[in-house]
Chain A
Amino acid sequence: MEVFKECTDVQSNRSSYTSDESHDREEISHLQRHGWSAATVKVLASMPSRTAELNKSRRVRYQASSHESPHLSRPVKGASVLAEAEEINTEVRSDLSYSTDSNLCAAENNMDQLVSSLQGLSVSEGTRKLREMPLSLADKIEIRKVAFSLKTESSFIGRNIPCYTHLSMYISMTWRHCLFSCLPVFSSFKLWHSALKTLSGRYGTGVLSYFLFLRTLLFLNLLLFVITGLFLIIPQAINPPPSPKADFSGIELLTGTGYFSDSLMFYGYYSSETLPGDQYRMPAAYFFTIGFTLFIICIILVYRLSKSFGKNFQVLKSNKNLAVKVFSCWDFKVSKKISVRLQSEKISTQLKEQLSEMIKGEDKKTCMQQLHRLIVHLLAWTACLISIFLGTIGVHNLSGKNFNVKTTLNLPKDTELLVLSAVVSGINLLLPGFFNLCVWAEQYESPGTRVYVSVFRNLLLKVSVIGVLCYRWLESIPANGLECWESSVGQELYRLLVMDFIVTVLYTFLGEFLWRVFSQTILQKKRKPVFDIARNVLELIYGQTLTWIGVLFAPLLPGVQLIKLIVLFYMKKRSLILNCQASRKPWRATQMTTLFICILWFPSFLGTVVTIIYTVWTIKPSEKCGPFRNLTTMFEGGQMSTRHLEDAHPILKWLSWVYDCLVENPVFLFLASGVFLMVIYFQAQVVDGQRKIISRLEKQIENEGKDKKFLIAKLQDLCK
């Protein structure tokens, strides 16, 4: 990159006007130096950094004075300076181009050098260089006339080549034109792109991260649904097993029993009995489909996680972003009034957020105040933990009671089945409200900390609830001797999901609306409440965990979750616009997305995988229903099918041999992970080193500037 050089200049009384044919627009501004003698300036003008650039073709001669002499006080609005400035401005803006005595020859040399630099190149190279010169069009046409006319005199063949270069240039130009006009079309294909732009501009990056997370989950569920649909649902739907159909009554949408219990919805429906013989074995399909989808989701999540982490560890980090934002954020293409207003809002919000990050002033607190705060924190945490514990105990007892009833062959009424899911949803509704109360009492200073603490507390709640439920399902249900325990678990999961959805809808419509009315009329607050990110994100993660666990027991569950997410997006957006407002203290949520994906990965997905592996490995499938009947474990079903496949296709034998040798061999795994760790360490060191080099170079540039000032001052002294 060419570094643009500056020159100092001479006094204005030595300027002379020339309107020579060199229309090089060397804009020379004559910021007069008060005390500088001509000798000083002459010396400075012939500094190597000035003269070295004369021979390069691509340069601009902005001649301006750069450094204040340290002897002078800073002339801010001195009358003399103003007068000079006005004089300068009129000079600059006149039609004539200026050059000074000492630079007059240089100006002419300038033009000649530009022309000569162009002559040494081929036509296409020369045209490219000509285009990139920062001169006015009239000047460029002049230079071109001179340069290329000389060229064509020397070589006649040279004139014939331009046809070909014109064509190739034309093609590349039209191609680029097409590409740039298609790009905005592509970006608008991204789901909900414009809605998210509006939201982020008005409500900040925290709220935006929630909606982006929702969109990510939507795509994951879509993928899950498509894969299970293709390999499990459609084959089974085409060949339905004979089963007595119960009557359909409305309550079954909530409970999942009755009409739905013997349907595609749940595990019990799937079997290999009705499928055409050896061509499509349901146990194999079931086992491998579930395994494959979980594997793909694992890879996607790890990839997203690593990309998010990567963004946080960039070499040129965000503490230098404010200037860049100010100068390169405004999109000049935007021409509609509404879009322009939206853009202004977006930039204002972003600038405010960055400012808030920079001024994190903490007031000094006295000892008593610190102690007081500590006690308040401790109390709040204890209260939250106790409430979580109580909630978990309640769920534990209730689910025990619920399932024990079934052993007495006295099947509970439909409404009784809903009690557990209602209670769980109730806990999920009330306890986050209680956490919000605690956070309000604790009075955290920055909104970011508040959100992180809430997220953590909500996470603990959800983890304990799901943990207790999983324990119940896997420990006690199979032992109860139910006819089709997997379907029961699937139905339970379905009920939880649907009840959660209904409660969320009611809360969004009524709860948030009522809370806004309450806070504005009774609490007399002028601002609308802030969107509760922690609660909503953890709701999403909770629903997603249930879906993932449920894929094994109810293959259609991702479809239900998909519908739920789509409806949720529009509802939440509506509610946000009606009832909420941006936080008074804007804060930057750069790491929110990373945090959400991290939570999705670590407790949620890994927990699901552990649960599923445990189920598949150890628990005996029920004997009368499902694709794995008459087997000791589901895993055995998988193994059997692999053996069957190997026998059918001997080629696959080597694949299983490779699997046995490599994947199941611990030495290989250790070696591979060792290599990965070393690569990661190496890269981290390289990044660290680059950062250090950059900071040292910046310091060096600063010191050079100081040196220059010092030398100029000394030169001044000597010349006096």
Chain B
Amino acid sequence: MGNKQTIFTDEQLDAYQDCTFFTRKEILRLHGRYHELAPHLVPMDYTNEPDCKIPLALIVNMPELKENPFRNRIVESFSEDGMGNLSFNEFVDMFSVLSEMAPRELKAIYAFKIYDFNVDNYLCKEDLEKTLNKLTKEELTPEEVELVCEKTIEEADLDGDHKLSFADFENMISRAPDFLSTFHIRI
């Protein structure tokens, strides 16, 4: 069906289609996007699974991510080395989770990772402060930021340890009707 492409083998495309929320066409399109981020680094032929990673600085320049205040954290959460260097698999994974088809539970897991700035598997007060400052671009006074963090932890913390574990976070997100539509990047 259609033109024979030589970027991926058929088995690879099948695997991608089964493991992500993208179709074959979209995977090929994603590869095109990945390639144009760093044409000299990324080979056009992925049939033998080359091991190349694009650094963080190039990925956050994508138009979809450029103005997002959380762009660094998003890319870091999906990178295996935690420094933001994404291989093609991780790149596809990132946009798959952020696509509209991903279910709420999966998105909640990664949203938690993104907001967890110090990567300790808890959303503590410092994480919340950083999140707020990025959200409001420093328009709130420090007292207001402090107050919002306190109130947030008070509202969402169920087991009383003054930080938000993943269970607390998921419980709180379940009450957000528009989480699915806001935690979504279109590519």
Interface residues of A, Cβ cutoff 8 Å to B: 1-6, 25, 27, 29, 31, 58, 60, 62, 64, 66-68, 85, 88-89, 92-95, 127, 130-132, 134, 136-138, 140-141, 144-145, 148, 166, 170, 173-174, 176-177, 180-181, 316, 319-320, 322-324, 326-337, 340-341, 344-345, 347-348, 351-352, 355, 358-359, 698, 701-702, 704-706, 708-709
Check if B90 sits within 8 Å of A328, measured CB to CB.
Answer: no
In the complex, what distance in Å separates the CA atom of A89 from the CA atom of B119? 8
Interface residue tally on B, bucketed by range: 35 or more
A324's contact among B68, B120, B139, B176, by CB below 8 Å, is which?
B176
Min CB distance B20 to A, Å, is 7
Q: Which residue of A lies closest to B183 (CB)?
A: A332
Min CB distance A397 to B, Å, is 55
Known: A332-B98, A701-B158. 19 other contacts (CB 8 A): A4-B109, A6-B165, A6-B167, A31-B120, A62-B121, A89-B119, A131-B18, A132-B103, A137-B19, A144-B15, A322-B151, A324-B176, A326-B152, A327-B131, A334-B68, A335-B63, A340-B67, A340-B69, A351-B140
Annotate B8-45 by CB proximity to A: 1 below 8 A, 0 otherwise: 00000001111111010000000000000000000000
Check if A326 sits within 8 Å of B139, measured CB to CB.
Answer: no
In the complex, what distance in Å separates the CA atom of A58 from the CA atom of B111? 17
B82's contact among A92, A170, A181, by CB below 8 Å, is which?
A92
Q: Which residue of B lies closest to A700 (CB)?
A: B158
Given contacts A95-B81, A134-B110, A138-B89, contact A328 B179 (CB under 8 A): yes
- B4 interfacial contact with A, CB 8 Å: no
B172 / chain A contacts, CB cutoff of 8 Å: 323-324, 327
A93's contact among B81, B120, B128, B140, by CB below 8 Å, is which?
B81
Given contacts A1-B170, A144-B19, A330-B182, contact A702 B158 (CB under 8 A): yes
In the complex, what distance in Å separates the CA atom of A130 from the CA atom of B96? 13
B101 / chain A contacts, CB cutoff of 8 Å: 173, 176
In the complex, what distance in Å separates the CA atom of A348 from the CA atom of B132? 9
Check if B131 sits within 8 Å of A326, measured CB to CB.
Answer: yes
Check if A332 sits within 8 Å of B19, measured CB to CB.
Answer: no
12 A-B contact pairs sorted by A residue (CB < 8 Å): A58-B105, A89-B119, A132-B102, A328-B182, A333-B182, A334-B68, A347-B136, A348-B136, A348-B139, A351-B148, A355-B148, A701-B159
Annotate B51-69 by CB proximity to A: 1 below 8 A, 0 otherwise: 0000000000001101111
A326's contact among B80, B102, B128, by CB below 8 Å, is which?
B128
Given contacts A29-B121, A345-B139, contact A358 B185 (CB under 8 A): no
Q: Which residue of A lies closest to B92 (CB)?
A: A137
A698's contact among B21, B100, B152, B158, by CB below 8 Å, is which?
B158
Q: Which residue of A lies closest to B156 (CB)?
A: A323
A181 / chain B contacts, CB cutoff of 8 Å: 186
Check if A352 sits within 8 Å of B144, measured CB to CB.
Answer: yes
Check if B83 sits within 8 Å of A67, measured CB to CB.
Answer: no
Min CB distance B176 to A, Å, is 4
A176's contact among B89, B100, B166, by CB below 8 Å, is which?
B100
Min CB distance B168 to A, Å, is 9
- B7 interfacial contact with A, CB 8 Å: no
Q: Which of A66, A176, A708 has the most chain B CB atoms inside 10 A of its CB?
A: A66
Q: Which of A322, A359, A709 has the most chain B CB atoms inside 10 A of its CB?
A: A322
- B47 interfacial contact with A, CB 8 Å: no
In the complex, what distance in Å separates the CA atom of A336 from the CA atom of B105? 28
A330 / chain B contacts, CB cutoff of 8 Å: 69-70, 135, 182
Annotate B159-184 by CB proximity to A: 1 below 8 A, 0 otherwise: 11100011101101111101101111
B119 / chain A contacts, CB cutoff of 8 Å: 29, 89, 92
Q: Which residue of A lies closest to B21 (CB)?
A: A131
A148 / chain B contacts, CB cutoff of 8 Å: 18
Check if B173 sits within 8 Å of A327, measured CB to CB.
Answer: yes
Q: Which residue of B lies closest to A697 (CB)?
A: B158
Check if B159 sits within 8 Å of A64, measured CB to CB.
Answer: no
Min CB distance B181 to A, Å, is 8
In the complex, what distance in Å separates the CA atom of A58 from the CA atom of B109? 12
Min CB distance A74 to B, Å, is 9
Q: Which of A319, A351, A706, A708 has the most chain B CB atoms inside 10 A of its CB?
A: A351
B110 / chain A contacts, CB cutoff of 8 Å: 134
In the complex, what distance in Å separates the CA atom of A6 from the CA atom of B109? 13
Interface hits, B107-124 → A, CB 8 Å: 109-111, 115, 118-122
Given contacts A324-B176, A328-B179, A348-B139, contact A127 B115 (CB under 8 A): no
B135's contact among A25, A89, A326, by CB below 8 Å, is which?
A326
Q: Which residue of A lies closest to B104 (CB)?
A: A1
B136 / chain A contacts, CB cutoff of 8 Å: 344, 347-348, 351
B161 / chain A contacts, CB cutoff of 8 Å: 66-68, 705
A3 / chain B contacts, CB cutoff of 8 Å: 167, 170
A328's contact among B67, B155, B183, by CB below 8 Å, is which?
B183
In the complex, what distance in Å separates the CA atom of A222 from the CA atom of B28? 50
In the complex, what distance in Å separates the CA atom of A140 from the CA atom of B172? 28
Given contacts A331-B182, A336-B67, contact A136 B93 (CB under 8 A): yes
In the complex, what distance in Å separates the CA atom of A695 from the CA atom of B36? 53
In the complex, what distance in Å separates the CA atom of A67 from the CA atom of B165? 10
Q: Which residue of A lies closest to B12 (CB)?
A: A141
Check if B158 sits within 8 Å of A705, measured CB to CB.
Answer: yes
In the complex, what distance in Å separates the CA atom of A704 from the CA atom of B82? 34
In the complex, what distance in Å separates the CA atom of A629 from the CA atom of B62? 75
Check if A4 sits within 8 Å of B68, measured CB to CB.
Answer: no
A705's contact among B67, B160, B169, by CB below 8 Å, is which?
B160
Check if A347 sits within 8 Å of B158, measured CB to CB.
Answer: no
Check if A323 sits within 8 Å of B152, measured CB to CB.
Answer: yes
Q: Which residue of B lies closest to A344 (CB)?
A: B137
A335 / chain B contacts, CB cutoff of 8 Å: 63-64, 66-68
Check if B21 sits within 8 Å of A141, measured CB to CB.
Answer: no
Q: Which of A85, A319, A326 has the most chain B CB atoms inside 10 A of its CB?
A: A326
In the complex, what distance in Å separates the CA atom of A309 from the CA atom of B63? 42
Check if A134 sits within 8 Å of B109, measured CB to CB.
Answer: yes
Min CB distance A637 to B, Å, is 51
A706 / chain B contacts, CB cutoff of 8 Å: 160
Min CB distance A620 to B, Å, is 57
A320 / chain B contacts, CB cutoff of 8 Å: 155, 175
A705 / chain B contacts, CB cutoff of 8 Å: 158-161
In the complex, what distance in Å separates the CA atom of A62 from the CA atom of B15? 26
A144 / chain B contacts, CB cutoff of 8 Å: 15, 18-19
In the complex, what distance in Å separates the CA atom of A363 from the CA atom of B131? 33
In the complex, what distance in Å separates the CA atom of A347 from the CA atom of B20? 32
Min CB distance B82 to A, Å, is 4
A95's contact among B18, B64, B80, by CB below 8 Å, is which?
B80
B100 / chain A contacts, CB cutoff of 8 Å: 176-177, 180
B17 / chain A contacts, CB cutoff of 8 Å: 166
In the complex, what distance in Å separates the CA atom of A3 from the CA atom of B173? 13
Min CB distance B175 to A, Å, is 6
Q: Which residue of A lies closest to B68 (CB)?
A: A332
In the complex, what distance in Å separates the CA atom of A172 from the CA atom of B159? 40
B67 / chain A contacts, CB cutoff of 8 Å: 334-337, 340
Check if A328 sits within 8 Å of B178, measured CB to CB.
Answer: yes
A93 / chain B contacts, CB cutoff of 8 Å: 81-83
Q: Which residue of B lies closest to A68 (CB)?
A: B161
Check if B80 sits within 8 Å of A140, measured CB to CB.
Answer: no
B175's contact among A67, A131, A316, A326, by CB below 8 Å, is which?
A316
Min CB distance A58 to B, Å, is 8
In the complex, what distance in Å separates the CA atom of A3 from the CA atom of B90? 25
Q: Which residue of B lies closest to A28 (CB)?
A: B121
Check if A66 sits within 8 Å of B105, measured CB to CB.
Answer: no
B175 / chain A contacts, CB cutoff of 8 Å: 316, 320, 324
A701 / chain B contacts, CB cutoff of 8 Å: 158-159
B147 / chain A contacts, CB cutoff of 8 Å: 355, 358-359
A351's contact among B66, B144, B184, by CB below 8 Å, is which?
B144
B155 / chain A contacts, CB cutoff of 8 Å: 319-320, 322-323
Q: Which residue of B lies closest to A177 (CB)?
A: B100
Closest 5 CB pairs of A and B: A705-B159, A93-B82, A328-B176, A64-B121, A137-B89
A141's contact among B15, B64, B137, B167, by CB below 8 Å, is which?
B15
